[in-house]
Structure 1
Amino acid sequence: MHTDGFAAWTRRFEEERERRNAQGDPDWEQGATLPPEVWAGIQRFQVGEDGDGTNLIGKADEAGDDDYARAVRLFVAEEQNHARLLARLLAAGHLPTLPGHWSDTAFVRLRRLMGLRTELLVLMIAEVVALRYYRALRDGTDDPLTTEVAGRILSDEQRHVPFHCERLHASLAELPRATRRSVMALWRLLLLAVSLAVAADHGPGLRRLGVGRRRFVTDIAASSGSIVSTILAFRPD
């Protein structure tokens, strides 16, 4: 498996960590005011961002690529920072975090069923859905603190997707071409099912953000085409 690019990914994550540390946190003292339906969605996504990443890190270590394993640890740290930012945003609006949510429990169990490849495929579904949600949250409210927090998280997620695409490209390249295409066709079906479930669960909040259920789902489906093409693209050694 050719994974020479992960040293570069490690540097990118490290550079972003340094930039984030220099930037500092948003001004939490300004507080945040949002409709209850939007707060409910933030609470659910905060649960999804919150985790120690132990299972993913363990599988990355077993893959035998030290650069990739380091990059995964930095990725997990960014996800944990997202959970922290969302928790602080909730606190700024005088709301608590949730102890858990059924959707997060289902995703975690599914991700842990098999090896690294399966975990990344499931994780990518969550990342692609999150891209659309955080864009809606950034663009759909007049609350300055929420806009800033959502924008910071969205910027990170826009790097996470190509990071996982690169690993999945290398991993799926080990399979026959027909199998690769079947795997990604199934992935798109699962992505559609999950986006429908999220749209149903978050419908009132999405409407408050100016994004209806149908648009949320169709935007995610449209974005999946380029992701699949990237993963399946031929790349000469």
Structure 2
Amino acid sequence: MLNNGYDTWVRDFEAERERRAAIGDPQWERGAALDPALVRSLQRFQVGEDGDGSALIGKADRAGDPVYARAVRLFVAEEQNHARMLALLLAAGGAGTLARHWSDAVFVRLRRLLGLRVELLVLMVAEAVALRYYRAVRDGAPDPLVAEVAGRILADEERHVPFHCRRLREALAPLPAPARRAATLAWQGLLAGAGAVVAVDHGPALRHLGVGRRGFTADVLRSSGPLARAMHAAPAAAPAPVAPAGSAGV
């Protein structure tokens, strides 16, 4: 497969890596006041962020575009950094991490069912939910360290979404229009279910953050339309590495 402009994404990921190194980590030593419900919630998200990404990287390698595969490796590194920061945040609040959680196991199994296209569609469900979740933490957490970490992760996720949408446009483009529409409708259905499950599973934490279960689910649903259209549309002439805050509609 030809390089469809993914060198731009590689440069974006590399520039962000250099920026992170320049600004350094948050000040973990100041500690964090974590509500018990938020601890349990952050622990579950930390498990979801923590992985080596080997399945995704392997599928990206087999797709035949080494530049895209390089960008995927840089994306995985950012996700691993999220897991690292969440673990350090939990430690700053006197809490540990989980070895596993059922919700992460379900997503991993779904992502590994078929090829790169299905992997990315399922991954985009997690990314869309994460956008709303980390925004809720950033805006609703009373502790400044918690808000800072959530803000950093949210900024990364807002860059990740257009990256995956770009690839999914290319992956879905060879399909007939009705098949593309069916794929995105199925994705929206999966996202609706995932949003509802997260709203229930993380309800006490969301309430602590000032977000109701229904409001959270509704926000996730509202985000699905623009994202589905971005995946369904014909591939753009050039990628757009950075998405403005709130561009996903959540």
TM-score for both structures, normalised by structure 2: 0.93
- The equivalent residue for 1:204 is 204
Cα pair 1:52 1:80 within 8 Å, conserved: yes
Assess if the C-alpha contact under 8 Å between 2:166 and 2:235 holds in 1: no
Deviations 1:46-69 (CA, angstroms, capped at 9, x unpaired): 000000000100000000001100
2:172 matched residue in structure 1? 172
Which residue is 1:16 aligned to?
16
What pairs up with 1:1-237 in 2 under 5 angstroms?
3-235=3-235
Contact map agreement 2:170 2:235 (CA 8 A) in 1: no
What CA RMSD, in Å, does the superposition of the two structures yield over aligned residues?
Answer: 1.1
Q: Is the 8 A contact 2:169 2:232 kept in 1?
A: yes
Deviation at 1:232, TM superposition (A): 1.5
Question: Secondary structure in 2 aligned to 1:95?
Answer: coil
- Greater shift, 108-117 or 224-233, is seen at 224-233
Question: Alpha carbons of 1:160 and 1:236: their partners in 2 closer, same or farther (altered >3 Å)?
Answer: closer
Distance 1:192 1:12 in 2: 31
Q: Give the structure-1-normalised TM-score.
A: 0.98
Q: Is the 8 A contact 1:6 1:67 kept in 2?
A: yes
SS in 1 for 2:167: helix
Output the CA distance in 1 between the equivalents of 2:125 and 2:76. Answer: 16
Runs of 4+ in 1 over 4 A off after TM superposition: none
- CA spacing shift, 1:212–1:68, aligned 2, 3 Å: same
CA–CA separation in structure 1 for the residues paired with 2:30 and 2:214: 34
- In structure 2, the CA distance between the partners of 1:120 and 1:235, relative to structure 1 (3 Å rule), is closer
- Cα deviation, residue 142, structure 1: 1.7
Closer/same/farther in 2, CA of residues 59 and 33 from structure 1, 3 Å limit: same
Answer yes or no: is the 8 Å Cα contact 1:120–1:168 preserved in 2: yes
- In the TM superposition, what is the alpha-carbon distance from 1:16 to its structure 2 partner? 0.3
1:206–1:212 Cα contact (<8 Å) kept: yes
Q: Distance in 2 between matches of 1:41 and 1:68?
A: 33
Overall identity of the aligned pairs, in %: 63
Would the alpha carbon gap of residues 127 and 218 (structure 1) be closer, same or farther in structure 2, given more than 3 Å must change? same
Gaps of at least 5 residues in structure 2 are 238-250
Q: CA deviation at 1:169?
A: 0.2
**Letter in structure 2 aligned against 1:77:** A
